[in-house]
Amino acid sequence: MLDIQNLHASAGDTPIIKGIDLHIGAGEVHAIMGPNGSGKSTLSNVLAGRPGYSVTQGEINYDGKNLLEMETETRAREGVFLAFQYPVEIPGVGNSYFLKTSLNAIRTHNGLDELDAMDFLALCEEKMKRVEMPSDLMSRSINEGFSGGEKKRNEILQMLLLEPKLCVLDETDSGLDIDALRVVANGVNSLRSPDRAMLVITHYQRLLDYIVPDRIHVLADGKIVRSGGRELAGELEEKGYGWIGQTE
Amino acid sequence: MRGGSRGNPAESWIQAFPAFAAALGDNPQRQAQRERALAAFGELGLPSTRLEAWRSTNLGTLEKRMPPAPTGHAPEAGLLEKAKTQIALEADRVGEASLRAVFIDGHFCSSLSSLPEDESAIRVLSIRPESPTPVAFPQGYGELAPAKRDAFSALNEAFTPGIEVLEFGEGCEIDLPVHLVFLSSGDGRLNCPRLHVTGKKQSRATLILDFLSVPDGENLVSSVTEIFLEERAHLDCVVAERESDRTVHIANLQARQGRESGLRIHTLTLGGALVRNELGVELADLGAELDLNGLYVGSGDQHQDNHTRVDHATPRTTSRELYKGILADNARGVFRGLIHVRPDAQKIDSTQSNMNLLLSPGARVDTRPQLEIYADDVKCSHGSTIGKLDEEALFYLRSRGLSPSEARAMLTRGFVAEICDALPLESLRTAITELVLEKLSACVHPGGEGVA
């Protein structure tokens, strides 16, 4: 599903990612852990195509296509979804209107009919239940005045609606209390399927108690310094990131 | 436009006045009033950029275009036909109205108008050449926009075909909007619509001043509107300026509010080559509340200037002012808002905000909020912002599958939502919002060139 080879990337002029190789197959959930500044967010931004980041070397192959040649919106339409660490507030644009526009843009790209208002509403209500999202958040402006937890639920709601093939979750656990974390994780887990891949980026092991990954990679100074099974999270929790540096 | 050569339009209008007056054939009382106004205009002359209030708006363009004075005759048949077509296309777009009056180049056009039979709620008391003498001027006429104070008010008084007078009767509640259409025929000339509105005690009404022109029509419009609200009268006034991008419009709207009256003025500047809105409101009695809600959307080489003046003349009066501007291409916006609080006007609550969105490197805006406060127990705030579309928000929308142009359209739409949502009556709100979005799409898709 996702094949990253020798990736080097910069934020602005600063090299951040210094050679990453990563292969995530369909149906797999991988986690990337690492200290602040290790390049976790840069990796997610490069995958989503955020302006200001440039790939200086290497390749990213997504579902048999060259991801780096695609525009941001094309990646989204082809099934790449980034759950933002800091979802953006957009005053004056209704959340519901935004989600419907987004869903229909993606459906149209994939040769499906657009959903009308009624069908969209029905679908949306069903998905909202799964993330325990109050209905008034749909009639409000995108993320405007949402609490931290509401913003993250809104991200997961979008993921549930758009049903992407590759889900990238960028520190989705940051700023969440334990109840919100459970709700968000349940939403994510409900999307786990044999034809979908997930990349969960987090600083803390806590999230991985709820979203249990198949593989864990530890990122430090722009490189994957350790990869292992889910037991690696426990080790990191116990010994901290300093331990990784020492073993290198 | 006729004329062609450079010159002084003020001179040419003064010279053309006798022919205009003879063709119009007004009564001696009005004729004398017109002559006084013309003399005032002669003394004032067209404002130059040396005047502080006109520093950002250069009328030099009028010298190149030299719009001739009006003829004094109603529009010719050919122009009338085009005007009718345009009314049919555009006027209905603002939805149902309780009354529609159409003025072409300031001349009342009865065949396109529908006035109410029952005059108990809305009275039309217009002063036209055929009106009986002595002329019964409405109370307060000319007090807010006197000819001697400002050149365009003077020009308007000299050259208006008639004074259109509208009165909302005491205690009346008018559910559907009153729709006044001021259409410029595109005859290339100056035209001067004049309106006087009175909201009697406890009346409640919605008024649309709809400024239109025939497509690509050239005109100089100098409009004057005076609004008087009596005790506890409420008026929502929507000013829609959607003329061709070859029209120059100098719009002077002045209002005075009585005790506990409520006035909301929504000014939407979408069209015009050069538009100057001179808007002044005097909160003249206790408990008066004012909302000024403004939007200007400019593209191409449009120049849109809003000068507002809120005069808190008495204690315990409230004003809220929000103007938003979106400027694309090489368009230029000007906002100058003055809040004036007089010495004895205590317990004032006043806010003013001007927010601007520039969509291209060539777009410009000059914003100058001003406070002049001479009382000590007041709550006043003001501020202005100028910005571009938020890159972070654009990326967010694109990461959800929206194209850059869809994302820009959605963000600009979000920017104006606050203004559109404040419009009165759902049908009117929907209709005007659609006009705004049409204009926005012209700004956001200039041949696919983008910000992102």
Scanning every residue of chain A, which has its alpha carbon at the shortest distance from the alpha carbon of B406? A101
What's the sign of the alpha-carbon dihedral A81, A82, A86, A89?
Answer: negative
**Pair B186, B221: CB distance under 8 Å:** no
Q: Which pair of structure tokens corresponds to residue B138? A: 């409405």
Q: Residue B231 above 90 pLDDT?
A: yes
* Minimal CA separation from A26 to chain B, in Å: 21
Tell me which residue range forms the domain holding A230: 2-247
Q: DSSP letter at B8?
A: -
High-pLDDT (> 90) share of chain B, % = 85
Mean pLDDT of B397-408: 95
Cβ separation A90–B401 shorter than 8 A: no
Instruction: Please give the pLDDT value at position B1.
Output: 43
Mean pLDDT of A46-54: 95
Cβ separation A101–B402 shorter than 8 A: yes
Mean pLDDT of B396-424: 95
| Chain A hits for B413, Cβ within 8 Å | 92-93
Mean pLDDT of A25-46: 93
- Please give the Cα distance from B218 to B152 (Å, whole number): 18
Q: What is the 3-state secondary structure (H, E, C) of B21-63?
A: HHHHCCCHHHHHHHHHHHHHHHHHCCCCCCCHHHCCCCCHHHH
Considering its fold, how many domains does chain A have in total? 1
| Chain B hits for A92, Cβ within 8 Å | 413-418
Q: Residue A165 above 50 pLDDT?
A: yes
Which among A71, A81, A93 has the least Cβ separation from residue B413?
A: A93
* Per-residue pLDDT tens digits for A199-219: 999 988 889 999 999 999 999
Cβ separation A93–B395 shorter than 8 A: no
Q: Which pair of structure tokens corresponds to residue A7? A: 């990736």
Mean pLDDT of B435-442: 92
Q: Residue B2 above 50 pLDDT?
A: no
Instruction: Please give the pLDDT value at position B79.
Output: 87
Return the closest-CA partner of residue B313 out of B352, B339, B351, B279: B339
- Please give the Cα distance from A89 to B426 (Å, whole number): 27
Instruction: Please give the pLDDT value at position B451.
Output: 40
Q: Residue B95 above 90 pLDDT?
A: no
At CB < 8 Å, which residues of chain B contact A? 390-393, 395-404, 406, 410-411, 413-418, 452
Cβ separation B401–A88 shorter than 8 A: no
Q: Residue B166 above 70 pLDDT?
A: yes
- Please give the Cα distance from B234 to B204 (Å, whole number): 5
Mean pLDDT of B308-320: 98
* Minimal CA separation from A115 to chain B, in Å: 15
* Minimal CA separation from A164 to chain B, in Å: 10
Going by pLDDT thresholds of 50, 70 and 90, the confidence category of residue B417 is very high
* B81-88 CB contacts, 8 Å cutoff, 24+ apart: B82/B185, B82/B186, B82/B214, B83/B109, B83/B183, B83/B185, B83/B214, B84/B112, B85/B214, B86/B183, B86/B212, B86/B213, B86/B214, B86/B215, B87/B112, B87/B181, B87/B183, B87/B212
Q: Residue A235 above 90 pLDDT?
A: no
- Please give the Cα distance from A61 to A78 (Å, whole number): 13
Which among A88, A109, A141 has the least Cβ separation from residue B396?
A: A88
Of residues A233 and A146, more confidence is placed in A146
Q: Note if the bond before B134 is cis, omega within 30 degrees.
A: yes
Instruction: Please give the pLDDT value at position A113.
Output: 95
Which among B398, B404, B417 has the least Cβ separation from residue A92?
A: B417
| Chain A hits for B418, Cβ within 8 Å | 91-92
Q: Residue B446 above 80 pLDDT?
A: no
* Minimal CA separation from B80 to chain A, in Å: 41
Cβ separation B401–A77 shorter than 8 A: yes
Mean pLDDT of B87-116: 90
* Minimal CA separation from B58 to chain A, in Å: 34
Report the mean per-residue pLDDT for chain B: 93
| A14-24/A2-11 β-pairing | antiparallel
Going by pLDDT thresholds of 50, 70 and 90, the confidence category of residue B452 is very low
> Residue A214: which CATH number?
3.40.50.300
Mean pLDDT of A167-194: 91
Q: Of A66-75, A238-247, B286-295, where does mean pLDDT reach its minimum?
A: A238-247
Instruction: Please give the pLDDT value at position A233.
Output: 83
Report the mean per-residue pLDDT for chain A: 92
Going by pLDDT thresholds of 50, 70 and 90, the confidence category of residue A238 is confident
**Chosen from A75, A82, A90 to mutate, greatest number of chain B CBs within 10 A:** A90
| Chain A hits for B404, Cβ within 8 Å | 73
High-pLDDT (> 70) share of chain B, % = 97
Bridge partner list, B239: B209, B267
- Tell me the one-letter amino acid at B96: E
Instruction: Please give the pLDDT value at position B222.
Output: 98
- Please give the Cα distance from A94 to A123 (Å, whole number): 17
Mean pLDDT of A34-47: 92
- Please give the Cα distance from A33 to B387 (Å, whole number): 37
Cβ separation A162–B393 shorter than 8 A: no
Instruction: Please give the pLDDT value at position B120.
Output: 84
Bridge partner list, B296: B269, B325
Q: DSSP letter at B127?
A: B
* Per-residue pLDDT tens digits for A81-108: 999 999 999 999 999 999 999 999 999 9
| Chain A hits for B411, Cβ within 8 Å | 90, 93
ipTM above 0.90, yes or no: yes
Which residues have a Cβ under 8 Å from the Cβ of B7 and sit 6 or more positions away?
B63, B66
**Chosen from A67, A82, A88 to mutate, greatest number of chain B CBs within 10 A:** A88
Instruction: Please give the pLDDT value at position A36.
Output: 85
At CB < 8 Å, which residues of chain A contact B? 48-51, 71-73, 75-77, 81-82, 84, 87-88, 90-93, 98, 101-102, 105-106, 109, 141, 158, 162
**Pair B215, B248: CB distance under 8 Å:** no
Instruction: Please give the pLDDT value at position A248.
Output: 41
**Pair B123, B234: CB distance under 8 Å:** no
- Tell me the one-letter amino acid at A2: L
Scanning every residue of chain A, which has its alpha carbon at the shortest distance from the alpha carbon of B405? A73
